[in-house]
Amino acid sequence: MSTASNASTSLPAISHPRLYLQPVSQKAHNFSVPVVAETLRYTWSMRKANPLATLLLLPLFISGCQRQVFADYRPLDKAGMWSGNLQEMKKLNPSDAEITQVVTLKNAGISDELCLGLVSAAHAHKHPFYSADAARRLQGANFSAEQILAFANRDQLDTISTEAVMLRLIGLSDPSVQTLLQRRMNGLPTLSSAEIGRLKNTQLSEKEIMARVENGMTDGQADAEASAREKGRAHSGTGFVRNRGRRH
């Protein structure tokens, strides 16, 4: 009994740590709840914003990839463009559609220099070159490369080509055609090719027609004059002539 008593007294006493729970102040409680809520709200908004941001950035990503696609210049080489001019064309960075337009020009016999000038003029006006047919028609109507390029530099290649070709078909001289087209490009009153053709068919000379153009005649005025002259020609030689010979 004494031995057990001695053993129990010889063991060291085990101390149990006490846990002290300090109350959270009202200020800390009021601060922590909004912070947690705001954090959750921000996390949720970012999760929702990521798909939206992806959709917004997707076109930029695609366009960036498209810029990295290299155009195929082999059709220009096959069309006969000289290597030096082909290198100059590459500097203009044309699209495949523009290269197709230039191939159309080359197949029509248009020089490398004019092809480069037309593409450069279109880019200077902030749009692709798409006027191969207009340039081809002008060349077919015997307009020079300088004249065609002048139309392109004014960004009027498509708008003026049809009228220019019609003026050639009417048979006007080069100076008159140049004057009419210059007035048109400068926004001055100019008779259309249709009215000029009508006046010419009523036997007005080119000089007389150009004088009317210089005086600012409008298409309406030209239509009225042409109608009057056409009517006068239709009735000429149809009047009754009395026979004054002796009766038998």
**pLDDT for position 233:** 81
Q: Each residue's pLDDT tens digit in the chain (248 positions)? A: 444 444 444 444 545 555 444 554 454 444 444 544 555 565 555 555 555 555 555 555 455 544 445 789 999 999 999 999 999 999 999 999 999 999 999 999 999 999 999 999 999 999 999 999 999 999 999 999 999 999 999 999 999 999 999 999 999 999 999 999 999 999 999 999 999 999 999 999 999 999 999 999 999 999 999 999 999 887 765 554 555 555 54
Q: What is the pLDDT of residue 239?
A: 53
CA angle 226, 230, 236 (to 5 degrees): 145
